[in-house]
């Protein structure tokens, strides 16, 4: 396991973890290639984080997914244990973690500039960013997707899985996560154990509400991602839109 995220102890009982190895616990198998914007970020052929293709040459993910080893971005995948004909393996030319990211939980977002542009087709397509002033209200059901762990400490899945989580009120997130939750930068969600949700390795993957990405998976409680007492946390894309656009413009 590549331990990338800085673990912060919470009430000396739990620790935050930007899950670095894979998956959605529970949920269902996604219809193959129904989410053509999904990216698997891999080191030495092993999935580490998720990401989303936002332009033919840029992938958006979490800053804590950066690692000294060479990263490969796999697009057009459903089963990452196979060499599917639809897959494109692209090298990363440049890493752009947010300049204010310092290894903690704030500003945990990063853009990856691809060495070669993705060939766009029905299996590989970028997803549009949300509108600048939009805001997703509480209790809206949103989709999360990723490859991997199907239980808090369970085995990984090789196929893309997905489920839904509901936007939580910011005040509730602050009450539970206290100083670790930044209401401007973050969104959190509530979920139930039967439907499932994000777990270790979904870092960098999307929170999709009304067909647009609203968040990038940030952290859960380590080894307890399926505990509904602790909302799942995402970086709020609305807050980061100016930085994203400026970075992609070069």
In the set 64, 78, 98, 232, the catalytic residue is 64
Answer yes or no: are the C-beta atoms of 57 and 118 closer than 8 Å. yes
- Catalytic residue at 105? no
Helix (H, G, I), strand (E, B) or coil at 49: strand
In the set 202, 203, 226, 238, the catalytic residue is 203
- Catalytic residue at 46? no
For 102-151, the DSSP string reads -SSSTT--EEEEESS----SSSS---PPPPTT--PPTT-EEEEEEES-SS
HSE value, Cβ hemisphere, 13 Å, CA-based, for 132: 3
- Catalytic residue at 33? no
Instruction: Return the bridge partners of 49, or none.
Output: 41
In the set 108, 157, 202, 238, the catalytic residue is 108
Which residues participate in catalysis according to the annotation?
64, 108, 203
């Amino acid at each position: 396991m590549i331990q990338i995220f800085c673990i912060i102890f919470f009430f000396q009982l739990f620790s935050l973890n930007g899950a670095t190895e894979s998956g959605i616990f529970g949920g269902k198998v996604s219809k193959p290639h129904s989410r053509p914007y999904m990216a698997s970020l891999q080191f030495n052929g092993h999935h580490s984080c998720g990401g989303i293709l936002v332009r033919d040459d840029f992938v958006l993910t979490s800053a804590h997914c950066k690692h000294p080893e060479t990263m490969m971005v796999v697009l057009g995948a459903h089963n990452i244990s196979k060499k599917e004909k639809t897959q494109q393996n692209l090298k990363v030319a440049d890493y752009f973690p947010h300049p204010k990211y310092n290894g903690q939980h704030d500003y945990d977002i990063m853009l990856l500039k691809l060495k070669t542009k993705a060939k766009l087709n029905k299996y590989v397509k970028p997803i549009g960013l949300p509108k600048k002033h939009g805001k997703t209200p509480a209790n809206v059901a949103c989709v999360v997707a990723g490859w991997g762990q199907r239980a808090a400490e369970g085995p990984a899945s090789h196929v893309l899985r997905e489920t839904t989580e509901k936007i939580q009120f910011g005040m509730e997130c602050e009450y539970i996560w206290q100083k670790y939750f930044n209401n401007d930068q973050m969104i959190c969600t509530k979920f139930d154990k039967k439907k499932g949700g994000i777990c270790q390795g979904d870092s960098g993957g999307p929170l999709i509400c009304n067909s647009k990405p609203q968040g990038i998976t940030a952290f859960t409680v380590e080894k307890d991602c399926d505990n509904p007492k602790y909302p799942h946390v995402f970086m709020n894309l609305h807050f980061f839109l100016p930085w994203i656009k400026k970075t992609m413009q070069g």
